[in-house]
């Protein structure tokens, strides 16, 4: 595997509509590869960072290999927000908690 196939530069954008939702795109292609329906749900993208994705360098909340594969295949990867903390729903007074 050459350095060109091992390393991939991506741009990361934060959603203006949903907290902790991020869109990874191949920096060379930009947002052009992202479907219009996804962009309308994602909202105005806020650029967070550009990053060199390497197989040996893990990401915080997603599998770097899945991100790299999606960028190569479709040009983008959507990182969904983490599930809510169960303790928040168990807190006294939360409307989802039983009486």
pLDDT tens-digit map of 47-73? 999 999 999 998 989 999 999 999 999
12 has a pLDDT exceeding 70: yes
**pLDDT at residue 33, rounded to an integer:** 92
CB count within 10 Å of CB 90 equals 10
Whole-model pTM: value is 0.78
Q: What are the angstrom distances between the C-alpha of 43 and each of 9, 16, 47, 61?
A: 23, 5, 12, 21
- Angstrom CA distances, 62 to 35, 83, 87, stand at 21, 13, 23
CATH class as words, domain 3-90? alpha beta
Q: What is the mean pLDDT of residues 21-28?
A: 95
């Amino acid at each position: 595997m050459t350095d060109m196939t091992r390393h991939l530069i991506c741009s990361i954008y934060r959603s203006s509509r949903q907290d902790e939702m991020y869109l990874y795109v191949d920096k060379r292609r930009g947002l052009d590869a992202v479907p219009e329906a996804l962009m309308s749900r994602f909202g105005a993208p806020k650029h967070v960072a550009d990053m060199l994705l390497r197989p040996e360098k893990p990401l915080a909340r997603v599998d770097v290999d899945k991100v790299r594969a999606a960028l190569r295949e479709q040009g983008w990867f959507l990182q969904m927000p983490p599930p809510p903390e169960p303790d928040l729903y168990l807190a006294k007074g939360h409307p989802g908690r039983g009486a």
